C-alpha cells in the first residue's frame, strides 16, 4: 500500500458449518487428553516437523469462494472421521490443517474459542514443547492478530517462536516466518525497535537459506523500510525499498504489477523528503504500470489510486503549469495504450501500427 493519500466473506451456510464444527469439536477431545498425554508427550518426530513445514506452505488465496467451501467441507469431514484415541497424530495433523482454513474465516465468533480449545487439547496430548503445540499457539496468535487484538496475540506468537526455534533450529526458514509474525505484532503496538530487530533476524535467515536475491526477502525488506520510515530514518528506509525493488525487478522484470508497493512507497518517501525529481521518476513508473494493466486481473488485485491525477499534481509541484502537467500525463498514458494495442496485434499475427 502507498502512504499519505497514495496509499465477501463466504455464504451463510459455510458460517453455520464453522459454528457446527466448533461445537462438535469442543465437546470431543477433552475426555481423552489425559489418556493420551502419557504415551505421546514429547514424541516429536521428523514427520511432525515435515507436517508443520507443509502447513506453512498452504495458500488458499487462489481458490474461489466455492472451491474454498468445498475444500473446507472435505477437510472437516476428514477430521470427523478420525478418532483421537486411536490415531492421535493423524487427528492432530488434520485439525492443524483445518485451522488454516479457519484463519480465513477469522471474523466469525466461533473461530477464536475453537482455536483456544484446540490449543488446550494439543498441549495436553503432546506437551508444552512439541512443535504441534507451537503450531497451535501460532494459529491462535494469528487469529488474535488478524482480529486486531495484538496484545493477546503477542504471548502466543512469542511462545510459538520459542518452540519452533527449539524444534527446527535457529536458522530454519519457518523460524523466519515466526520472527516476522512477531515483527508485525510489535509494529502494530508501535514498538518499532523490537519490530525491526525481529525483521533483521528474519532477513538474515532468509538470505542464508534462499540467497541474497530471493523473493522471500522482499516482504521483509519492505517491512524493514516501513519501520525505518516510521522512525524517521529516511536513508535506511530508502536503502531497503531500493533493495526490495532491485530484487523484484531481477526476478519479475521491470514492468510487473507487483512492483507497485515498492514504487509507491519510494515515491511517498521522496515526496515527503522534498526530493521531487526522484519522486517523479517513481510516480511515472507507477502511472505506466497502472495504465498498462488497467482492466486486467493483475491491476484489479491492487488498491489503485488515480496515478494520472497524482502524477500531474507532482509535475505542478515541480513548477509546471496545470495545463503542461496534464498534457505530459496524457502523453504518457497515450503512449502506453498504443504500446498495449501493438502488443495485442502481434499476439494475433498482425503488424503494429506506425
Domains 12-35+78-168 and 170-251 belong to one CATH topology: yes
Q: What is the three-state SS of 72-120?
A: HHHHHHHHHHCCCCCCHHHHHHHHHHHHHHHHCCCCCCCHHHHHHHHHH
Tens-place pLDDT, residues 231-281: 999 999 999 999 999 999 999 888 888 888 889 999 999 998 999 999 999
pLDDT at res. 341? 82
* C-beta of residue 178 within 8 angstroms of C-beta of residue 199: no
Cell of 20: 457446527
Which of the four pLDDT bands, split at 50, 70 and 90, describes residue 98? Answer: confident
pLDDT at res. 13? 38
Which of the four pLDDT bands, split at 50, 70 and 90, describes residue 20? Answer: very low
pLDDT at res. 164? 94
pLDDT at res. 22? 37
Domain boundaries, the chain: 12-35+78-168, 170-251, 278-343
**How many CA atoms does the CB half-sphere of 85 hold within 13 Å?**
6
Say how far apart CA 6 and CA 113 lie, in whole Å.
38
Contacts 24+ apart (CB under 8 A), 64-69: 65/8, 65/10, 65/11, 68/10, 68/101, 68/104, 69/10, 69/11, 69/14
Across the range 177-181, mean pLDDT stands at 95
Domain 170-251 - what CATH class?
Answer: mainly alpha
Tens-place pLDDT, residues 191-245: 999 999 999 999 999 999 999 889 889 999 999 999 999 999 999 999 999 999 9
Buried b (16+ CB within 10 A) or exposed e, 217-242: bbbbbbbbbbbbbeeebeebbbebbe
Bigger pLDDT: 352 or 29?
A: 352
Instruction: Give me the phi and psi of 343, to 5 degrees please.
Output: -65, -40
* Residue written as grid cell 515466526: 178
Buried b (16+ CB within 10 A) or exposed e, 37-53: eeebbeebeeebbebbe
Query: In the predicted model, what is the mean pLDDT of the chain?
Result: 80
Cα angle, residue 347 at apex, residues 336 and 339 outer, rounded to 5°: 10
pLDDT at res. 111? 84
The CATH T-level fold of domain 12-35+78-168 is 1.25.40
- The structure's pTM equals 0.76
pLDDT at res. 296? 46
Amino acid at each position: 500500500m502507498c502512504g499519505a493519500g497514495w496509499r465477501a466473506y463466504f455464504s451463510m451456510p459455510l458460517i453455520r458449518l464453522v459454528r457446527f464444527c466448533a461445537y462438535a469439536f469442543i465437546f470431543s477431545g477433552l475426555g481423552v487428553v489425559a489418556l493420551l498425554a502419557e504415551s505421546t508427550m514429547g514424541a516429536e518426530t521428523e514427520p511432525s516437523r515435515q507436517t508443520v513445514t507443509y502447513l506453512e506452505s498452504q495458500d488458499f488465496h487462489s481458490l474461489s469462494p466455492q472451491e474454498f467451501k468445498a475444500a473446507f467441507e472435505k477437510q472437516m469431514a476428514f477430521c470427523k472421521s478420525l478418532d483421537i484415541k486411536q490415531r492421535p497424530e493423524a487427528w492432530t495433523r488434520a485439525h492443524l490443517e483445518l485451522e488454516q482454513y479457519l484463519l480465513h474465516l477469522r471474523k466469525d465468533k466461533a473461530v477464536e474459542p475453537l482455536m483456544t480449545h484446540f490449543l488446550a487439547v494439543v498441549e495436553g496430548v503432546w506437551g508444552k514443547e512439541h512443535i504441534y503445540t507451537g503450531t497451535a499457539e501460532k494459529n491462535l496468535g494469528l487469529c488474535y492478530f488478524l482480529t486486531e487484538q495484538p496484545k493477546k496475540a503477542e504471548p502466543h506468537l512469542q511462545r510459538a517462536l520459542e518452540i519452533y526455534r527449539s524444534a527446527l533450529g535457529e536458522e530454519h526458514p519457518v523460524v523466519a516466518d515466526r520472527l516476522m509474525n512477531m515483527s508485525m505484532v510489535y509494529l502494530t503496538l508501535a514498538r518499532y525497535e523490537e519490530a525491526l530487530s525481529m525483521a533483521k533476524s528474519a532477513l538474515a535467515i532468509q538470505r542464508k537459506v534462499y540467497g541474497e536475491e530471493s523473493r522471500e526477502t522482499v516482504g521483509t525488506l519492505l517491512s524493514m523500510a516501513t519501520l525505518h520510515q516510521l522512525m524517521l530514518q529516511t536513508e535506511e528506509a530508502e536503502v531497503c525499498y531500493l533493495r526490495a525493488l532491485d530484487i523484484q525487478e531481477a526476478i519479475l522484470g521491470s514492468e510487473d504489477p507487483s512492483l507497485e508497493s515498492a514504487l509507491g512507497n519510494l515515491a511517498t518517501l521522496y515526496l515527503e523528503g522534498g526530493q521531487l525529481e526522484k519522486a517523479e521518476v517513481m510516480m511515472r513508473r507507477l502511472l505506466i504500470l497502472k495504465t498498462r494493466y488497467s482492466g486486467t486481473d493483475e491491476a484489479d488485485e491492487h488498491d489503485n489510486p488515480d496515478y494520472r491525477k497524482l502524477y500531474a499534481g507532482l509535475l505542478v509541484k515541480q513548477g509546471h503549469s496545470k495545463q503542461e502537467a496534464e498534457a505530459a500525463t496524457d502523453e504518457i498514458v497515450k503512449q502506453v495504450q498504443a504500446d498495449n494495442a501493438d502488443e495485442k496485434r502481434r499476439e494475433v499475427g498482425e503488424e503494429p501500427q506506425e
